[in-house]
A and B are shown apart, each in its own frame.
Chain A
Amino acid sequence: MKEMWGRRNIPIVVFLFALVLPFFLSETQNFLATEILFWALFAVSFNLLLGYGGMLPFGHGGLFGVGAYTCGIILRRFPDFNILLIILLSALLAMAVGACIGFFALRMKGAFFSLLTLAFQMFLFSLALKWRPVTGGEDGIGIMRPDLYIPIIGPVSLMPGINFYFFSLVVVVTTLLFCYWVLQTPYGNTVRLIKENEERAAFLGYRTFNARLALFVLASFTAGLAGSLATLSAQFVSLEAIDIDVSFIAIMMTFIGGAGSFLGPVLGSAVYIIFQDWLSSLVDRWMLFMGALFVFMVLYVDQGLITLFRKETWSKFPLKKYISSND
């Protein structure tokens, strides 16, 4: 029993929980669960840069928006396009845009990098706002989810929430596994080294700029993927998908969950979405409580909620001293 609840097995338990969850939820709650999925993907993508690369981009939502808009634009022109190809194309375009942004922004460090990415996002936002014929301006683009074609079974409709939930789950989990695998390769270690001490990494012969750019491109790809899932989920894309808020939501989710671990942002996005939904149904001024939550988090749970699952956190807790007989 002890091994089963070990730290290694937590992701598997969470995955199994996510597999059976939709059968117990209503349609609206399923929508919420899907929302958690793509936000989790986006927050992990953000955390690749913050937690592993040591960079804080304020404009990460711009890449989310590129993915979301690409998906919407393609689906408006070709309503029966292959859905897998659509999300792949959206992610690839976001990746290309991310490569351009990263090429300029990664020359700066610290706050300059953050603000420069924010400037690029504002540029993309103004493009989405003004380029009416393509993006629809403030009206946005409404779309329908196309069917998913599976080789043996045939076309499966994604219109029911539960089907789309499982589709998102597969896409998100595959991408998360891919990101996790990348971080376990020697390249992942290089990225960690650069975060710790970039100068030393450069002395050791690593091309730090290229390594950071590759990380940025990977994060752009996943952000674009999350964006296209968001469009498919809402069946609508508007300026909200590329707004500054998107970046800040990712920052908040990451901080709530904890930037130090891979699954921290996933926890953060679940907490954020559920908390927001619960609060907005309960009180009118939920933003006030949200703000208060962040201030509280920074003061008292500064490493994120994921630390609550760690033994070290509780061993520091004074109550433990009185409970355990030894020591």
Chain B
Amino acid sequence: MNTTRAAIRQVGLPNIYFQNFTFAIHWSGKRTGCLMMSFLSIYAIQMIHGLVYGMMLFMVAAGLTLVLGMMNVLNLAHGAFYMLGAYIALSFAKVEYGFWFALLLGPIIVGLLGMLIEKTLLRRAHHLGHYHELLMTFGLFYILIEVTRWIWGSTPQPVSEPPILSGSIELFAGEIYPLYRLFVLAVAVVILAWMVVTMNRTRIGIHIRAAVLDAEMVNLLGINVPRLFLLVFTAGAALAGLAGVIAAPFLAAYPSMGIDILMDCIIVIVIGGFGSVWGALVAALMLGLLQSFGILWIPQYTMVLMFGLLAIVLIVKPTGLFGVRE
């Protein structure tokens, strides 16, 4: 395991930090004639970058935090679902309109896989306590990563954007911005809106919110909590798969992308509070902005900055920003 991780490192990941950084440099170089202007626009651009990454992080973290809040299961395989989404996008990329097929089929495939895992494996480990469930999801994480590496190889592979969304668009003050990232932002906003409506305006949303507070009591009231949990797990997996599909064109597909996003997600759900979707949203946006501005100001210590934020939040409010219980 150590050797494989080291091998991944040696390949040199195309990660978001690096991409953002080069992009910022590129931009400042292009507009040297108008220094003040470009200064302002760098901030604006970095802010959109942060929002894009934050919203994507939210899509992955929302499922994770709901599963954790409802059943006390930290689903480590969630990162693998995200990775699978990216690889599905990769394998569809060769055909015409492949991206759109992937956008449609990716969440369905990953969601079905999540459903299968919950129904056949995770449910049987539930009575053993959450440490055992954790070990099981970790084993599944391994299996999924290894199978992915088997099928698609271990090197990072670029995924091309759909032709309609390639190129850039002119934003405010003559600044141009890659269209694809705006598309990512739009998809994430749509998902967020759907989530708001589901959580606040439907019966299932009420059940989910109640189950996060006290699953046992909700079960006693005659609501089928295991089925609800299956639903949330499947939806969470599908969302992670969707995030993976839309992340593939700008982050490329590589086997360790699962663990990378998982680490960020863990920070997000700890800051936001367990089981809180709003907490996940706020924390994901905070983290996204922190990363993109951290890269602008102190590129070497962005990670340290992230953990600094985490430590401050936990010392001031130990249950996380929006958490209600431990």
Q: State the Cβ distance, B180 to closest chain A Cβ, in Å.
A: 29
Whether, in the assembled complex, A116 has its beta carbon less than 8 Å from a beta carbon of chain B, the answer is yes
Whether, in the assembled complex, A248 has its beta carbon less than 8 Å from a beta carbon of chain B, the answer is yes
Q: State the Cβ distance, B166 to closest chain A Cβ, in Å.
A: 34
In the assembled complex, which residues on chain A have CB atoms less than 8 Å from the CB atom of B128? 298, 302
Given the complex of chains A and B, what is the CA–CA distance between A99 and B1 in angstroms?
29
Q: Which of B272-311 contact A (CB under 8 A)?
A: 274, 300-301, 303-304, 307, 310-311
Stretch at the interface among A69-77, A117-125, A183-191, A210-218: A117-125
- Chain A residues with a Cβ closer than 8 Å to the other chain, count: 47
In the assembled complex, which residues on chain B have CB atoms less than 8 Å from the CB atom of A13? none
Q: State the Cβ distance, B52 to closest chain A Cβ, in Å.
A: 23
- Beta-carbon nearest neighbor of B142 in chain A: A291
- Beyond A119-B307, A240-B6, whether A292 also contacts B143 by CB under 8 A is yes
Whether, in the assembled complex, B132 has its beta carbon less than 8 Å from a beta carbon of chain A, the answer is yes
- Tell me which of A243, A285, A294 contacts B138 (CB under 8 A): A294
- Beyond A56-B131, A298-B125, whether A111 also contacts B74 by CB under 8 A is yes
User: Contact between A288 and B147 (Cβ–Cβ < 8 Å)?
Assistant: yes
User: Contact between A109 and B326 (Cβ–Cβ < 8 Å)?
Assistant: yes
User: Contact between A130 and B303 (Cβ–Cβ < 8 Å)?
Assistant: yes
Q: State the Cβ distance, A231 to closest chain B Cβ, in Å.
A: 14
Whether, in the assembled complex, B4 has its beta carbon less than 8 Å from a beta carbon of chain A, the answer is yes
Q: Which of A245-303 contact B (CB under 8 A)?
A: 245, 248-249, 251-252, 255, 259, 276, 285, 287-288, 290-295, 297-299, 302
Whether, in the assembled complex, A110 has its beta carbon less than 8 Å from a beta carbon of chain B, the answer is yes
Q: Which of A102-154 contact B (CB under 8 A)?
A: 104, 107-112, 114-116, 118-120, 122-123, 126-127, 129-130, 138
In the assembled complex, which residues on chain B have CB atoms less than 8 Å from the CB atom of A109? 326
User: Contact between B1 and A295 (Cβ–Cβ < 8 Å)?
Assistant: no
User: Contact between B143 and A295 (Cβ–Cβ < 8 Å)?
Assistant: yes
Complex interface bits, B215-230 against A, C-beta within 8 A gives 1, otherwise 0: 0000000000000000
In the assembled complex, which residues on chain A have CB atoms less than 8 Å from the CB atom of B146? 285, 287-288, 291
In the assembled complex, which residues on chain B have CB atoms less than 8 Å from the CB atom of A288? 142-143, 146-147, 150
In the assembled complex, which residues on chain B have CB atoms less than 8 Å from the CB atom of A119? 266-267, 270, 307, 310-311
User: Contact between B136 and A108 (Cβ–Cβ < 8 Å)?
Assistant: no
User: Contact between B303 and A248 (Cβ–Cβ < 8 Å)?
Assistant: no
Most chain B CB inside 10 Å of its own CB: which residue of A109, A115, A239? A115
Whether, in the assembled complex, B26 has its beta carbon less than 8 Å from a beta carbon of chain A, the answer is no
Most chain A CB inside 10 Å of its own CB: which residue of B4, B5, B6, B307? B307
In the assembled complex, which residues on chain B have CB atoms less than 8 Å from the CB atom of A252? 135, 138
User: Contact between B139 and A291 (Cβ–Cβ < 8 Å)?
Assistant: yes
In the assembled complex, which residues on chain A have CB atoms less than 8 Å from the CB atom of B274? 111-112
- Tell me which of B1, B130, B135, B270 contacts A294 (CB under 8 A): B135
Most chain B CB inside 10 Å of its own CB: which residue of A107, A126, A243, A249? A126
Whether, in the assembled complex, B2 has its beta carbon less than 8 Å from a beta carbon of chain A, the answer is yes
- Beta-carbon nearest neighbor of B145 in chain A: A287
User: Contact between A127 and B270 (Cβ–Cβ < 8 Å)?
Assistant: no
User: Contact between A245 and B263 (Cβ–Cβ < 8 Å)?
Assistant: no
- Beta-carbon nearest neighbor of A297 in chain B: B135
Whether, in the assembled complex, B99 has its beta carbon less than 8 Å from a beta carbon of chain A, the answer is no
- Beyond A115-B266, A248-B138, A297-B135, whether A104 also contacts B315 by CB under 8 A is yes
Complex interface bits, B119-160 against A, C-beta within 8 A gives 1, otherwise 0: 001001100101111111011111101110110000000000
In the assembled complex, which residues on chain B have CB atoms less than 8 Å from the CB atom of A276? 1
Complex interface bits, B236-270 against A, C-beta within 8 A gives 1, otherwise 0: 00000000000000000000000100010011011
Q: State the Cβ distance, A227 to closest chain B Cβ, in Å.
A: 14
In the assembled complex, which residues on chain B have CB atoms less than 8 Å from the CB atom of A104? 311, 314-315
In the assembled complex, which residues on chain A have CB atoms less than 8 Å from the CB atom of B131? 50, 56, 255, 259
Whether, in the assembled complex, B318 has its beta carbon less than 8 Å from a beta carbon of chain A, the answer is yes
Given the complex of chains A and B, what is the CA–CA distance between A291 and B326 in angstroms?
30
The 10 closest A-B pairs by CB, nearest first: A291-B142, A294-B139, A126-B303, A291-B143, A288-B146, A123-B307, A295-B139, A291-B139, A298-B136, A287-B146
Q: List 12 A-B contacts (CB under 8 A).
A: A56-B131, A110-B326, A115-B74, A115-B266, A116-B270, A118-B266, A126-B303, A138-B9, A287-B145, A294-B142, A295-B136, A298-B136
